[in-house]
Amino acid sequence: MEPCILSDKMKLYEFPYAPNPRRVRIFMAEKGIDLPRVAVDVLGKETRTAEFSKINSLGQVPVLQLEDGTLISESVAICRYLEELRPAPALFGSDAKSRAQVEMWNRRMESEIFGTIGNVGLHSDEFFKGKIAQVPAFSDAQRKAAPEKWAWLDRELADGRPFIAGEQFSVADITGMVASWLGGHLKIEIPASLTHVHRWHERMRARPSWSA
């Protein structure tokens, strides 16, 4: 089914080859929705211009512009807003317990796995020179730490649950999907021995939203 345009008056500033905009794209694909998009040339450093800093003072995409001009950055904040507008399927949980579990797992996936892999790129890639104080030794240490982070997830998924936060697909799975996608680009693979993570990963790759 073709996604339906949620509003032709909102605008999503994004860039197709970066993990955080990808989180929002996967989220929208799972919801079956789309929005008018403005392509920002991140590699051409359009995010670092004075013009773009009026859109996001941190110089990052994604940013969602609402009909009244309000600007929302931070991929999870954008996803939460979209969840409010289009509650089904619920990707942030559907009752007190599942909402807390999704929050817990999304934060864990972000801080333990996506963040670890992201730090490898942030602290070594030429692109971030001058934007952050790079510490190449930290990049190396995070690269070494990544397999153990995936191994932690493997031990968790050994209980047989189909999705990271439990029985339902959620935004925590999306954070895992972008972590593995980014890891692939940085040559940080999920160790072959981690059968539970691989089973989860195969299921994620089979979802149509994987290629959003």
Ligand X SMILES: N[C@@H](CCC(=O)N[C@@H](CS)C(=O)NCC(=O)O)C(=O)O
Q: Which residues bind ligand X (CB under 6 A)?
A: 18-20, 42, 47-48, 59-62, 74-75, 131
Q: Which of 10, 6, 50 is nearest to 28 (CA)?
A: 6
- Measured CA to CA, the distance from residue 10 to residue 65 in angstroms comes to 5
- Measured CA to CA, the distance from residue 103 to residue 165 in angstroms comes to 9
Between the CA of residue 129 and those of 132, 133, 134, what are the distances in Å? 6, 7, 7
CB nearer to ligand X: give 74 or 156: 74
CB nearer to ligand X: give 78 or 157: 78
CB 89, min distance to ligand X, A = 21
CB nearer to ligand X: give 21 or 194: 21
CB 24, min distance to ligand X, A = 8
CB 136, min distance to ligand X, A = 18
Q: Spell out the residues 6+ positions from residue 75 whose beta carbon is closer than 8 angstroms to its own.
A: 20, 21, 23, 24, 62
CB 115, min distance to ligand X, A = 10
**Cis link prior to 162 (omega < 30° from 0)?**
no
Half-sphere exposure of 19 (CA within 13 A, CB side): 22
- Measured CA to CA, the distance from residue 145 to residue 151 in angstroms comes to 10
CB nearer to ligand X: give 15 or 163: 15
CB 192, min distance to ligand X, A = 27
CB nearer to ligand X: give 164 or 182: 182
CB nearer to ligand X: give 93 or 118: 118
CB 117, min distance to ligand X, A = 12
Q: Is 207 left (phi over 0), alpha (psi -120 to 50) or beta?
A: beta
